[in-house]
Amino acid sequence: MPLEVCAPGPYNSSHTMAVVPIRFDPERALELVLYVANQLRYPTLHSVSKVVYFADREHLSRYGSLLSGDNYVAMRHGPVPSAIYNLLKAAAGRQEPLIPAEFYELVGQSLKVVNRSRVQPLRQANLDLLSTSQRECLDTSIRTYGRLSFARLTAKSHDAAWKSVDENDLIEVEAIAKTLPNAKQILAYLEE
């Protein structure tokens, strides 16, 4: 039976936690990126990554799981969703051995990265692949963080989770959970 948790936030109501954590799915991740990139004025590798990070935090607070299912790495300018970053690098045409071959095909007709960092969606996101909870948390993150400058996004993302590890190390979900207003409840839920 799902755990009921009253998560502080814009809705100030009770939400049911996810029973099964969301696993990373490249097709769904591409739709997350397209959803964000189509709503930002000037989407970049940095801004898309940060909006997804803050949406993941919101989803973790409300539902007990990251909406992307991705792993975060503490990079110089803040947390970066590792596999989503590889999707974006594939869209930029970067040939790197750690990028799965399927990522290049997946982004081919959907997404480009131009001028090294500008994310250019080639179509709208397929909303059938995004849950209502994912869209709600993405919308909250876009409204709150979507217009911030590079410097402000970097500063805001340099939170305790980012500071908990060395540069280029994996940030544990528990470290992200500790930054949330309802950290105690989320940590207890994650331990179950």
Lowest mean pLDDT among 7-21, 142-156, 167-181: 7-21
User: Would strands 4-6 and 14-16 be described as parallel, antiparallel, or unpaired?
Assistant: antiparallel
Q: Is the CB of residue 65 less than 8 Å from the CB of residue 137?
A: no
What are residue 173's phi and psi, to 5 degrees? -55, -35
- Under a CB-based contact definition with an 8 Å cutoff, are residues 138 and 124 in contact? no
Find, among 192, 181, 187, the residue nearest to 6 by Cα. Answer: 181
To the nearest whole percent, how much of the chain has pLDDT over 70?
Answer: 89
Neighbouring C-alpha atoms within 13 Å toward the C-beta of 142? 19
> Residue 62 above 80 pLDDT?
yes
pLDDT of 2 higher than 90: no
φ and ψ at 66, to 5 degrees?
A: -75, 135
What is the b/e burial string over 136-146, where b = at least 16 CB atoms within 10 angstroms of the residue's CB?
bbbbbbbeebb
Q: Kindly tell me if the per-residue pLDDT of 1 is higher than 70.
A: no
Select the more confidently predicted residue: 20 or 10. Answer: 20
Q: What are phi and psi of 157, to 5 degrees?
A: -80, -10
Contact (Cβ atoms closer than 8 angstroms) between residue 62 and residue 105: no
In sequence order, what are the residues at sequence separation of 6 or more whose Cβ sits closer than 8 angstroms to the Cβ of residue 33?
48, 52, 84, 87, 88, 111, 119, 121
- pLDDT, tens only, 114-135: 999 999 999 999 999 999 999 9
More confident residue, 121 or 16: 121
Q: Which residue blocks in 38-131 are alpha helix, DSSP H?
A: 45-63, 82-91, 101-107
Q: Are 179 and 2 in contact (CB under 8 A)?
A: no
